[in-house]
Amino acid sequence: MCGRVALPKTEVIVKELGLKYEGEQFPAHINIPPTLQVPLITNTKPDTLQYFTWSLIPSFSKTGKADFKMSTFNATIERLEESNLWKPLLGKRHCVVITDGFYEWQYDDPIKKKGSHPHLIKAKNSRFTYMAGLWSAWANKETGELIPSCTIITLPANTLMAEIHNTKGRMPAFLTTETVKVWLDPELSYQESKNALSPVPDEFLDAYPLKKVGDEEEYLELMKIC
Protein backbone atom coordinates (compact mmCIF):
# COMPACT_ATOMS: atom_id res chain seq x y z
CA MET A 1 0.00 0.00 0.00
CA CYS A 2 0.97 3.63 -0.27
CA GLY A 3 -1.04 5.98 1.94
CA ARG A 4 1.37 8.76 2.91
CA VAL A 5 4.01 10.50 0.80
CA ALA A 6 6.61 13.23 1.18
CA LEU A 7 6.69 15.86 -1.56
CA PRO A 8 9.42 18.18 -2.88
CA LYS A 9 8.58 21.80 -3.53
CA THR A 10 7.39 22.82 -6.97
CA GLU A 11 10.42 24.90 -7.95
CA VAL A 12 12.80 22.02 -7.20
CA ILE A 13 10.85 19.60 -9.42
CA VAL A 14 10.66 22.10 -12.27
CA LYS A 15 14.36 22.94 -12.05
CA GLU A 16 15.63 19.38 -11.69
CA LEU A 17 13.44 17.91 -14.46
CA GLY A 18 13.21 20.90 -16.79
CA LEU A 19 9.42 20.86 -16.83
CA LYS A 20 6.93 23.54 -17.83
CA TYR A 21 4.71 24.89 -15.06
CA GLU A 22 2.46 27.93 -14.71
CA GLY A 23 0.35 27.13 -11.65
CA GLU A 24 0.55 27.74 -7.93
CA GLN A 25 3.92 27.17 -6.28
CA PHE A 26 3.66 24.48 -3.61
CA PRO A 27 6.13 24.18 -0.73
CA ALA A 28 7.74 20.91 0.27
CA HIS A 29 5.51 18.81 2.50
CA ILE A 30 6.70 15.88 4.58
CA ASN A 31 3.36 14.15 5.18
CA ILE A 32 0.69 14.18 2.45
CA PRO A 33 -2.33 11.83 2.74
CA PRO A 34 -4.79 10.84 0.01
CA THR A 35 -7.38 13.43 -1.15
CA LEU A 36 -4.74 16.19 -1.28
CA GLN A 37 -2.79 17.37 -4.36
CA VAL A 38 0.31 15.55 -5.59
CA PRO A 39 2.75 16.54 -8.37
CA LEU A 40 2.89 14.40 -11.49
CA ILE A 41 3.46 14.20 -15.21
CA THR A 42 1.06 12.45 -17.59
CA ASN A 43 1.36 10.59 -20.87
CA THR A 44 -0.55 13.41 -22.59
CA LYS A 45 1.70 16.20 -21.19
CA PRO A 46 5.00 14.54 -20.22
CA ASP A 47 6.86 17.88 -20.36
CA THR A 48 4.50 19.68 -17.98
CA LEU A 49 4.25 19.45 -14.20
CA GLN A 50 0.69 19.18 -12.94
CA TYR A 51 -1.02 18.69 -9.56
CA PHE A 52 -3.91 16.24 -9.30
CA THR A 53 -6.09 15.07 -6.42
CA TRP A 54 -4.63 11.86 -5.01
CA SER A 55 -7.58 9.40 -4.95
CA LEU A 56 -9.13 8.79 -8.31
CA ILE A 57 -12.61 10.28 -8.67
CA PRO A 58 -14.84 7.86 -10.65
CA SER A 59 -16.87 9.23 -13.56
CA PHE A 60 -20.06 8.20 -11.74
CA SER A 61 -19.26 10.32 -8.67
CA LYS A 62 -22.06 12.78 -7.87
CA THR A 63 -19.86 15.17 -5.89
CA GLY A 64 -16.56 15.29 -7.77
CA LYS A 65 -14.75 14.73 -4.50
CA ALA A 66 -12.44 11.93 -3.41
CA ASP A 67 -14.28 9.34 -1.35
CA PHE A 68 -12.35 7.40 1.30
CA LYS A 69 -15.04 4.68 1.25
CA MET A 70 -13.86 3.60 -2.21
CA SER A 71 -10.11 3.59 -1.39
CA THR A 72 -9.12 4.72 -4.88
CA PHE A 73 -5.77 6.19 -3.84
CA ASN A 74 -4.15 2.83 -4.70
CA ALA A 75 -4.82 0.43 -7.57
CA THR A 76 -3.53 -3.12 -7.20
CA ILE A 77 -1.79 -4.36 -10.33
CA GLU A 78 -3.64 -7.67 -10.12
CA ARG A 79 -6.98 -5.93 -10.77
CA LEU A 80 -6.00 -3.37 -13.39
CA GLU A 81 -7.20 -5.40 -16.34
CA GLU A 82 -10.41 -6.65 -14.75
CA SER A 83 -11.72 -3.61 -12.88
CA ASN A 84 -14.23 -1.36 -14.64
CA LEU A 85 -12.63 1.55 -12.81
CA TRP A 86 -9.04 0.96 -13.96
CA LYS A 87 -9.31 -0.94 -17.24
CA PRO A 88 -10.57 2.00 -19.38
CA LEU A 89 -7.50 4.04 -18.34
CA LEU A 90 -4.89 1.46 -19.36
CA GLY A 91 -2.81 2.57 -22.31
CA LYS A 92 -4.63 5.91 -22.33
CA ARG A 93 -4.17 7.74 -19.05
CA HIS A 94 -0.87 6.90 -17.41
CA CYS A 95 0.95 9.18 -14.97
CA VAL A 96 4.06 9.33 -12.82
CA VAL A 97 3.78 10.76 -9.31
CA ILE A 98 6.92 12.63 -8.20
CA THR A 99 7.77 12.26 -4.51
CA ASP A 100 10.57 12.43 -1.97
CA GLY A 101 9.51 8.99 -0.73
CA PHE A 102 6.62 7.38 1.13
CA TYR A 103 5.89 6.00 4.57
CA GLU A 104 5.18 2.47 5.69
CA TRP A 105 4.62 0.98 9.13
CA GLN A 106 6.19 -2.22 10.43
CA TYR A 107 4.40 -4.01 13.28
CA ASP A 108 5.77 -6.05 16.14
CA ASP A 109 2.54 -8.05 15.92
CA PRO A 110 1.32 -7.83 12.30
CA ILE A 111 -1.79 -9.92 12.97
CA LYS A 112 -3.14 -7.70 15.73
CA LYS A 113 -1.37 -4.60 14.35
CA LYS A 114 0.34 -3.79 17.61
CA GLY A 115 3.65 -1.98 18.11
CA SER A 116 3.99 0.08 14.91
CA HIS A 117 7.29 1.52 13.68
CA PRO A 118 7.21 4.01 10.76
CA HIS A 119 9.79 4.01 7.99
CA LEU A 120 10.54 6.44 5.19
CA ILE A 121 11.15 4.58 1.92
CA LYS A 122 13.10 6.32 -0.85
CA ALA A 123 14.68 5.45 -4.16
CA LYS A 124 18.42 5.09 -3.70
CA ASN A 125 20.75 7.27 -5.80
CA SER A 126 17.87 9.31 -7.24
CA ARG A 127 16.76 12.86 -6.47
CA PHE A 128 13.10 11.84 -6.66
CA THR A 129 11.13 8.67 -5.97
CA TYR A 130 8.87 8.02 -8.96
CA MET A 131 5.65 5.99 -8.71
CA ALA A 132 3.52 4.74 -11.59
CA GLY A 133 -0.13 5.67 -11.59
CA LEU A 134 -3.31 6.21 -13.57
CA TRP A 135 -5.28 9.42 -13.91
CA SER A 136 -8.72 10.59 -14.91
CA ALA A 137 -10.73 13.83 -15.04
CA TRP A 138 -14.18 14.00 -13.46
CA ALA A 139 -16.57 16.22 -15.40
CA ASN A 140 -19.22 18.39 -13.75
CA LYS A 141 -22.21 17.94 -16.06
CA GLU A 142 -23.71 21.27 -15.05
CA THR A 143 -20.66 23.52 -15.37
CA GLY A 144 -18.29 21.50 -17.55
CA GLU A 145 -15.55 21.84 -14.92
CA LEU A 146 -12.92 19.09 -15.04
CA ILE A 147 -11.34 17.84 -11.82
CA PRO A 148 -8.24 15.70 -12.47
CA SER A 149 -7.33 12.95 -10.03
CA CYS A 150 -4.96 10.00 -9.82
CA THR A 151 -4.15 6.70 -8.18
CA ILE A 152 -0.82 5.02 -7.41
CA ILE A 153 -0.37 1.43 -8.62
CA THR A 154 0.80 -1.13 -6.06
CA LEU A 155 2.59 -4.46 -6.48
CA PRO A 156 3.46 -7.41 -4.26
CA ALA A 157 6.34 -6.34 -2.02
CA ASN A 158 9.95 -7.28 -2.65
CA THR A 159 11.89 -8.85 0.24
CA LEU A 160 12.81 -5.52 1.84
CA MET A 161 9.29 -4.13 1.69
CA ALA A 162 7.72 -7.40 2.83
CA GLU A 163 9.74 -7.15 6.04
CA ILE A 164 8.56 -3.59 6.64
CA HIS A 165 4.99 -3.79 5.35
CA ASN A 166 4.41 -7.01 7.24
CA THR A 167 0.60 -6.77 7.34
CA LYS A 168 -0.23 -6.83 3.63
CA GLY A 169 3.10 -7.11 1.83
CA ARG A 170 2.58 -4.43 -0.83
CA MET A 171 4.62 -1.60 -2.30
CA PRO A 172 4.19 1.14 -4.94
CA ALA A 173 5.15 0.48 -8.55
CA PHE A 174 8.46 2.33 -8.44
CA LEU A 175 9.95 3.65 -11.68
CA THR A 176 13.45 4.56 -12.79
CA THR A 177 14.24 7.47 -15.10
CA GLU A 178 14.19 4.93 -17.95
CA THR A 179 10.96 3.15 -17.05
CA VAL A 180 9.26 6.54 -16.57
CA LYS A 181 9.67 7.01 -20.33
CA VAL A 182 8.22 3.57 -21.05
CA TRP A 183 5.19 4.07 -18.78
CA LEU A 184 4.42 7.45 -20.35
CA ASP A 185 5.09 6.52 -23.99
CA PRO A 186 1.83 7.25 -25.88
CA GLU A 187 2.87 4.96 -28.72
CA LEU A 188 2.90 1.87 -26.51
CA SER A 189 -0.10 -0.26 -25.62
CA TYR A 190 -0.68 -1.18 -22.00
CA GLN A 191 0.60 -4.69 -22.72
CA GLU A 192 3.88 -3.13 -23.83
CA SER A 193 4.18 -0.38 -21.22
CA LYS A 194 3.32 -2.63 -18.28
CA ASN A 195 6.85 -4.03 -18.51
CA ALA A 196 7.83 -0.84 -16.68
CA LEU A 197 5.88 -2.05 -13.64
CA SER A 198 8.22 -4.90 -12.77
CA PRO A 199 9.08 -5.00 -9.04
CA VAL A 200 12.34 -3.22 -8.21
CA PRO A 201 15.07 -5.17 -6.38
CA ASP A 202 15.79 -4.53 -2.70
CA GLU A 203 18.92 -2.56 -3.51
CA PHE A 204 16.87 0.02 -5.44
CA LEU A 205 15.44 1.33 -2.16
CA ASP A 206 16.61 2.85 1.10
CA ALA A 207 14.48 2.45 4.24
CA TYR A 208 14.93 4.78 7.21
CA PRO A 209 13.26 4.06 10.57
CA LEU A 210 11.53 7.05 12.13
CA LYS A 211 10.33 7.94 15.59
CA LYS A 212 7.25 9.70 14.25
CA VAL A 213 5.84 10.54 10.83
CA GLY A 214 5.42 14.29 10.47
CA ASP A 215 8.26 15.32 12.78
CA GLU A 216 9.89 18.04 10.68
CA GLU A 217 13.12 18.20 12.69
CA GLU A 218 13.67 14.45 12.42
CA TYR A 219 12.81 14.49 8.72
CA LEU A 220 15.22 17.32 7.92
CA GLU A 221 18.03 15.57 9.78
CA LEU A 222 17.30 12.42 7.83
CA MET A 223 17.40 14.28 4.51
CA LYS A 224 20.96 15.37 5.28
CA ILE A 225 22.20 11.78 5.10
CA CYS A 226 20.04 10.58 2.21
CA–CA–CA angle 131, 213, 179 (5° rounding): 10
Alpha carbon 151 to chain centroid, angstroms: 7
List beta partners, residue 153. Answer: 75
Confidence of residue 197 (pLDDT cuts 50, 70, 90): very high
* CB 133, CB 97: distance < 8 Å: yes
CA–CA–CA angle 205, 206, 211 (5° rounding): 140
* Residue 68: predicted pLDDT: 65
Domains contained in the chain, number? 1
Distance CA 117, CA 209 (A): 7
Range of the domain at 214: 5-225
pTM of the model: 0.94
| Average pLDDT taken over every residue of the chain | 92
Q: What is the pLDDT of residues 91-140, one digit of tens each?
A: 999 999 999 999 999 998 888 888 999 999 999 989 999 999 999 999 88
CATH number of the domain bearing residue 201: 3.90.1680.10
